[in-house]
Amino acid sequence: MQSFRPTRRALLVAAFAVPTSAMGAAAPTVEVWKSPACGCCGGWVAHLRTAGFSVVVRDVDDVDPIKRTHGIPAELASCHTALVEGYVVEGHVPASDIRRLLAERPAIRGLSAPGMPSGAPGMGEDGTAYDVVAFGGAGGTSIFASH
């Protein structure tokens, strides 16, 4: 009985056939518009970076024009606005919800943690419950996640 002995070519092919999930995909880049004076926005940016996102920060004196450009309803507004892979992320949305959004790719404009909910990333860890809202889809707004 002969033993199997892989050729050098077979070894090279096997070495490069690693699934991209095993290699770790490049971190999505999140572009954030915020006030330079906002500490909670800085906390949210740190949360995203800790979660593995690449973050580009755009400090601006007025974030409202960005919100209008990206169709964020006034009732869903928060202190900062972000874009990631074609989606809008408004406010203190947890990194786990952004990862889910990017994995599922729903037909929506984006996600919002309306206002500045206590307990959300960057807002302290007091455990207060809050919702993340999906908006801009055919069905209007809906709860994407509850925390």
Q: What per-residue confidence (pLDDT) applies to 144?
A: 98
Confidence of residue 112 (pLDDT cuts 50, 70, 90): very high
Confidence of residue 98 (pLDDT cuts 50, 70, 90): very high
Q: Is the dihedral of CA 84, 99, 55, 80 positive or negative?
A: positive
Question: In 3D, which of 33, 79, 30, 87 has the Cα closest to residue 55?
Answer: 30
Cβ neighbours for 20, distance < 8 A, ≥ 6 positions apart: none
Q: Give pTM, 2 decimals.
A: 0.81
Q: What per-residue confidence (pLDDT) applies to 128?
A: 84
Q: Per DSSP, which regions of 21-139 are E strands? A: 29-34, 54-59, 81-84, 87-91, 110-113, 131-137
Mean pLDDT of the chain: 85
Q: Which of 3-7, 91-95, 100-104 has the lowest mean pLDDT?
A: 3-7
